[in-house]
Amino acid sequence: MRNSLLLLLVLITAFSCKQNADGYTINGELRGDFEEGTQVFLKTIGDNGQPVEVDTVLLDGGKFQFTGTSPVPELHYIFVNELPGYTALILENGTINFSAQKDSLGFAEVDGTMQNEVFFDYLEKSRDLSVRAKSIQEDMQEANGSATGEASMLALNDEMQELQEEYKTYEIDFIKANPNALISALLLDRAISMNAIETDEVQTMYDALSQEVKDTKPGKKVVELLENKKKSEETSKSTAIGAKAPEFSGPDPGGKTIALSDVMGKATLIDFWAAWCRPCRAENPNIVAVYEKYHDKGLNIIGVSLDRTADAWKKAIADDGLEWYQISNIDYFDDEIAKLYNVTAIPAAFLLDENGVIVAKNLRGSELEAKVAELLN
């Protein structure tokens, strides 16, 4: 009988430890003066970048609870009705403990699962670095109006740069030390978006992540960003000064296909522009002047328009007196030629020598004329 009771206690203990093992339970406590029935929201970020409600519960005696299942760890947020701010946490299967004061929702204590404990360890260190950065910024504001301001600003700038490098090193070390953490994928996402880390290093750190983290939304986004970044870098190499300009073709205003190789001169300008682009239209008279002066000596120009409509494109050609070759796919920045040349803003221009090698980029006015004159001797 005694052995049976012991076995029963073991089974009860095992069951309680594995409670909701196939799902999540968020046990929440809010301290402060709250009305009974205050709404507490669990939200995530939707595809449009806006918070999307996942679940809503009512506060009961300062406590609340969310339950459900989470196939993979995912960043979620807890909001409280009529309270400013929110708390970020990692939603994952297991029991998550949440505790916060009414007036400091952004500084809640969250633990109970591996992802959240790692996440909040990271946040604690990040907050320390943020406090130091804020202190330096305040010192900069004071120094800006002081008699010794210039010397102080130089010292503070150096201090801020050292802190930024410390922050970067901390995040890289954190990612390497925590390949099983969702926050590591989130940090890689940010590092790629901000060009803070070289692509090869990001790839190495991504490869070291656990499969569970790679299967999350941030993990999949890192793959997408890496692929795009590598393509962009390859494109940048192919359109760098000293590279042979990539071949392209497109329809002119009459529908005839014109290729770059068809219009090459002793010097050739590829000019990306559009009728809607005010800086482009302001620069057109300068290009017209250079073309009229040097076309007979060997300068050719091919304009690549990123217009949205053919009518606007053709009208701008006539209004601005653009007598050189013009092509357009009428596809805005989705234009395949713009992507080939990694053009993300206009005006943009590439000047080629007689061999089709890119010798200069984005020259304007007198600089353009001087370089053209040099190419044509």
pLDDT in tens, 205-219: 999 999 999 999 999
* pLDDT exceeds cutoff 60 at 195: yes
- The answer to whether residue 259 sits within a structural domain is yes
pLDDT of residue 339: 92
Report pLDDT digits (tens) over 247-292. 999 999 999 999 999 999 999 999 999 999 999 999 999 999 999 9
Mean pLDDT of 107-125: 93
**Whether residues 175 and 207 fall in one domain:** yes
**Whether residues 287 and 351 fall in one domain:** yes
**138: confidence class by pLDDT, cuts 50, 70, 90:** confident
- The answer to whether residue 327 sits within a structural domain is yes
Q: How many domains does the chain have?
A: 3
154: which residues sit within 8 A by CB, 6+ positions away?
none
- The answer to whether residue 243 sits within a structural domain is no
Mean pLDDT of 85-105: 94
pLDDT of residue 18: 38
**Whether residues 366 and 256 fall in one domain:** yes
pLDDT of residue 365: 87
Q: Which of 195, 214, 238 is the last residue of a domain?
A: 238
Q: Which of 238, 272, 304 is the last residue of a domain?
A: 238
Residues found in the chain? 377
**Whether residues 229 and 319 fall in one domain:** no
pLDDT of residue 81: 93
pLDDT of residue 19: 40
**Whether residues 149 and 90 fall in one domain:** no
Mean pLDDT of the chain: 89
**Whether residues 216 and 256 fall in one domain:** no
**Whether residues 132 and 108 fall in one domain:** no
- The answer to whether residue 170 sits within a structural domain is yes
Tell me how far apart the alpha carbons of residues 308 and 325 are, in angstroms, rounded to a whole number.
Answer: 19
Per the structure, the complete domain to which residue 26 belongs is given by: 2-112
* Domain harbouring 262, CATH code: 3.40.30.10
- The answer to whether residue 244 sits within a structural domain is no
pLDDT of residue 5: 37
**Whether residues 97 and 127 fall in one domain:** no
pLDDT of residue 155: 85
Report pLDDT digits (tens) over 30-85. 999 998 899 999 999 988 888 899 999 999 999 999 999 999 999 999 999 989 99
pLDDT of residue 12: 32
Mean pLDDT of 138-148: 78
pLDDT of residue 159: 87
**Whether residues 28 and 97 fall in one domain:** yes
Q: Which of 238, 263, 295 is the last residue of a domain?
A: 238
- The answer to whether residue 10 sits within a structural domain is yes
* pLDDT exceeds cutoff 50 at 242: yes
pLDDT of residue 1: 39
pLDDT of residue 106: 87
* Domain harbouring 98, CATH code: 2.60.40.10
pLDDT of residue 149: 66
- The answer to whether residue 207 sits within a structural domain is yes
- The answer to whether residue 282 sits within a structural domain is yes
**Whether residues 202 and 268 fall in one domain:** no
pLDDT of residue 21: 54
Mean pLDDT of 324-351: 95
**Whether residues 122 and 231 fall in one domain:** yes
**143: confidence class by pLDDT, cuts 50, 70, 90:** confident
**Whether residues 137 and 54 fall in one domain:** no
Tell me how far apart the alpha carbons of residues 116 and 125 are, in angstroms, rounded to a whole number.
Answer: 14
